């Protein structure tokens, strides 16, 4: 290939051949470009072993094709998995050259690279879930398995302290994770390699004993298999593979510990596997019958994983029998298809159409989508379509973050440093002043991500506030914050009431309940609770409030209205009764206090002449309903150019120049004249009354509508006694 030396050209051809033999299809152009970019990015780098660094991504790509052959995209990502982190290649360059999907996978691999470095693995299951929560494409995990496997194969070249850390991480995170994905071959090799560096003495001892007994075991297995071969032929079963199955060193060690037995007494050092080429599970049971016909079975050790598969869809029959000389031998029976899935796990699901059912509910949706694609596509199309469209959403509603000491905390998606603080301890949450994420100070409402290391900055003077409830996510944080705020509110309520009572007593004042309610409303509080809390928070000047005349406002209001009414009526002249000035005695009803311009009607009383009511007066309407017909038409006198005085009650936002703007707004309508203004302001709010000259009710209503459109006005209406 152009641009490559003979050595690397040969390496590329070997990889291409593996891809063509094991993958549904290969984009040779992209594969070569990835090979070349990886080589160029790493050509000046060397591993601890002294070999060129490029050999690592190359070997990872080969592992993918041999142990986990999914698609060419995964192989390309294996070649490129370190170029962003270790070389001067950006994700944008990857996207431009290889497409968005490959760029996303490379970005995912970069994100989880070294995520456990520096941490003591104490919560392995949460660590595995954290990995899943950080990625959205299953191929990220597959490449990571292959990457870890090659690193373990070459671990002998790194420092002993690093060896132990990586080995422990592999044993507790990646090997069990590979098992969950059904990658048995990967799991076993990772376990043996990790065990070698975690407990070299015992590893070497078991390895030596296996080597010492190898010839004897092989001779015994050959003797055990011979009659089986003859009987299978009698039953017409000829297309199969039968081999002695080597036991993995770590599994032998675990069995020695679990059963508390020495190496020599572990029963299944003798193991045989029979793989049937035909995809027929019934034939597996036929072979089982043949074995049990030849050798006595140990029923206590029989397991039928074909009838009841494991959670990772592992299927096989495990049958333990007494062989020659009474020695126990484990026989595994499975089809080639079952063997592929047992060895290659997830990768094998793209190779076979089958109805998969796992007990793990979190994986059910994923499996259903695989089946759906298989039902509508050919094998090759299914592989590509599924992998390009499927997003790994397991544990996507959770995040996993580290404490500074390396402990892992699980939180719901969208959680903040405050949620994290309460997850550590309620006292930490109560006094949370700030936070550092990966060493950088961040706002308390920032949303955390899986893999973040979070450090809480606390202060004894810091306490929760209501704004925290707007962004915290966890029930624990919300309940603790509400509990604190409620407790704090009760304390403020008590303190505020004590301050108020002491001040009243000191000033020797007596305030009735009615006066107290007026004080609360005057200061714009809904109830006494809010009022007392405001006092405790020093938001009210009690001295000023208590030295102000308390009845002033009510008295002024009544005086103002009576003055307005008197002036208006005097200006208008006498009312007309039946259209004439009859000189009949009349007075204005105190219940509705009509003023000129109001629709009015007269009600004949005994001894008090005619009472003038507004037509919408409730008292008048009730009297009419009772059948009282003592009413007489009355009206205000109509004189050309005559004006009435009316009043407007108004409330709004106080600011410099607001009175001038209101005056201009009123005066600009038909040259309306203002008679008087009585407005007061407190706490950025003004309210009061404005008396104006109007020709009639319509004139007054137009002025009111103009004021309502003013941006600083909250409330405006005609002023009558009913406003009080």
509-518: pLDDT as tens digits: 777 777 787 7
Q: What is the pLDDT of residue 529?
A: 86
Distance separating alpha carbons of residues 527 and 355, to the nearest angstrom: 66
Residue of 48, 51, 85, 558 with catalytic role = 85
Choose among 213, 228, 254: nearest CA to 321.
228
pTM exceeds cut of 0.75: no
Q: Exposed, middle or buried: residue 176 (CB in 10 Å: 0-12, 13-18, 19+)?
A: middle
- Calculate the alpha carbon distances from 54 to 93, 143, 235, 606 in Å: 19, 16, 53, 115
Q: Is position 501 annotated as part of the catalytic site? A: no
Q: Which residues contact 365 (CB under 8 A, 6 or more apart)?
A: 393
Q: Which residues contact 677 (CB under 8 A, 6 or more apart)?
A: 659, 663, 688, 689, 690, 691
Q: Is position 85 annotated as part of the catalytic site? A: yes
Assigned token pair, 289: 């019958």
Residue 243 main-chain phi, psi, to 5 deg: -145, 160
How many whole angstroms from its chain centre is CA 431?
24
CA angle centred on 570, ends 564 and 572, rounded to 5°: 100
Q: What is the pLDDT of residue 712?
A: 80
Q: Which residues contact 456 (CB under 8 A, 6 or more apart)?
A: 417, 420, 421, 424, 428, 432, 434, 435
Residue of 28, 40, 86, 385 with catalytic role = 86
Residue 314 main-chain phi, psi, to 5 deg: -70, 130
Q: What is the pLDDT of residue 138?
A: 74
Q: What is the pLDDT of residue 111?
A: 74
Backbone CA torsion sign across 436, 440, 446, 449? negative
DSSP string, 283-319: HHHHHHHHHHHHSEE-GGG-EETTTS--TT----EEE
Q: What is the pLDDT of residue 57?
A: 93
SS3 content of the chain, % helix, strand, coil (to 5): 55, 15, 30
Which residue, chain included where needed, has tokens 């309903």?
625
Cβ-based neighbour number of residue 427 at 10 Å: 13
Q: Across the strands, what pairs with 690?
A: 648, 677
Q: Where is 685: in which H helix or E strand?
A: strand 685-694
Choose among 288, 304, 199, 178: nearest CA to 252.
199
Q: Which residues contact 238 (CB under 8 A, 6 or more apart)?
A: 232
Q: What is the pLDDT of residue 80?
A: 92
Q: What is the pLDDT of residue 322?
A: 92
Please list the ranges in the chain whose pLDDT falls under 50.
Answer: 350-364, 366-395, 550-561, 721-724
């Amino acid at each position: 290939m152009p641009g490559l030396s003979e050595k690397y050209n040969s390496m590329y051809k070997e990889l291409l051949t593996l891809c063509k033999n094991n993958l549904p299809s290969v984009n040779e152009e992209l594969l070569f470009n990835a090979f070349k970019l990886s080589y160029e990015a790493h050509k000046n780098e060397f591993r601890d072993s002294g070999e060129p660094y490029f050999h690592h991504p190359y070997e990872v790509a080969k592992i993918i094709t041999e142990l986990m052959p999914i698609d060419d995209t995964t192989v390309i990502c294996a070649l490129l998995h370190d170029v962003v982190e270790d070389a001067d290649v950006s994700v944008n360059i990857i996207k431009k050259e290889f497409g968005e999907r490959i760029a996303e996978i490379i970005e995912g691999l970069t994100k989880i690279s070294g995520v456990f470095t520096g941490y003591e693995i104490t919560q392995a299951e949460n660590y595995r879930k954290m990995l899943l929560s950080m990625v959205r494409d299953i191929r990220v995990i597959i490449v990571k398995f292959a990457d870890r496997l090659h690193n373990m194969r070459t671990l002998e070249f790194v420092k002993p302290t690093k060896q132990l850390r990586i080995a422990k991480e592999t044993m507790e995170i990646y090997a069990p994770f590979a098992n969950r994905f059904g990658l048995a071959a990967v799991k076993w090799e990772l376990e043996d390699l990790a065990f070698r560096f975690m407990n070299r003495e015992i590893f070497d001892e078991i390895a030596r004993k296996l080597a010492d007994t190898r010839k004897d075991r092989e001779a015994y297995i050959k003797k055990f298999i011979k009659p089986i071969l003859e009987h299978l032929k009698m039953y017409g079963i000829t297309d199969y593979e039968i081999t002695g199955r080597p036991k993995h060193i770590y599994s032998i060690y675990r069995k020695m510990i679990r059963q508390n037995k020495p190496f020599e007494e572990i029963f299944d050092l003798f193991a045989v596997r029979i793989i049937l080429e035909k995809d027929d599970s019934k034939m597996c049971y036929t072979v089982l019958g043949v074995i049990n016909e030849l050798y006595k079975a140990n029923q206590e050790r029989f397991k039928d994983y074909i009838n009841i598969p494991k959670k990772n869809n592992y299927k096989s029959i495990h049958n333990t029998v007494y062989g020659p000389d009474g020695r126990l031998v484990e026989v595994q029976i499975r089809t080639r298809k079952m063997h592929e899935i047992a060895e290659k796990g997830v990768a094998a699901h793209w190779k076979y159409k089958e109805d998969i059912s796992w007990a793990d509910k979190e994986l059910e949706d994923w499996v259903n989508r695989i089946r759906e694609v298989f039902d509508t596509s050919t094998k090759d199309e299914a592989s590509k379509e599924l992998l390009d469209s499927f997003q790994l959403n397991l544990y996507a509603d959770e995040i996993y973050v580290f404490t500074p000491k390396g402990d892992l905390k699980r939180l719901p998606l969208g959680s903040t440093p405050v949620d994290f603080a309460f997850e550590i301890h309620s006292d930490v949450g109560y006094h949370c002043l700030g936070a550092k994420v990966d060493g950088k100070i961040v706002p308390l409402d920032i949303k955390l991500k899986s893999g973040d290391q979070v450090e809480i900055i606390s202060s004894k003077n810091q306490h929760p506030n209501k704004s925290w409830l707007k962004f915290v996510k966890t029930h624990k944080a919300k309940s603790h914050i509400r509990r604190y705020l409620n407790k704090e509110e009760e304390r403020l309520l008590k303190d505020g009431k004590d301050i108020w009572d002491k001040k009243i007593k000191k000033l020797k004042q007596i305030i009735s309940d009615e006066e107290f309610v007026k004080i609360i409303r005057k200061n714009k509080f809904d109830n006494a609770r809010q009022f007392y809390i405001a006092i405790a928070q020093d938001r009210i000047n009690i001295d000023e409030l208590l030295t102000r005349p308390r009845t002033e406002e009510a008295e002024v209001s009544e005086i103002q209205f009576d003055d307005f009414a008197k002036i208006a009526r005097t200006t208008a002249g006498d009312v007309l009764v039946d259209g004439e000035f009859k000189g009949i005695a009349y007075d204005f009803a105190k219940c509705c206090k009509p003023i000129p311009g109001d629709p009015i009607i007269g009600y004949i009383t005994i001894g008090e002449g005619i009472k003038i009511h507004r037509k919408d007066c409730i008292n008048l309407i009730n009297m009419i309903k009772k059948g009282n017909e003592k009413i007489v038409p009355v009206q205000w006198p109509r004189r050309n150019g005559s004006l009435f005085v009316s009043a407007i009650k108004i409330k709004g936002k106080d600011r410099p120049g607001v009175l001038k703007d209101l005056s201009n707004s009123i005066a600009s309508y038909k040259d309306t004249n203002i008679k008087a203004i009585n407005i007061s302001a407190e706490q950025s709010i003004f309210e009061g009354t404005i008396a104006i000259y109007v020709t009639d009710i319509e004139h007054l209503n137009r002025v009111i509508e103009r004021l309502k459109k003013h941006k600083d006005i909250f409330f405006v209406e005609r002023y009558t006694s009913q406003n009080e």
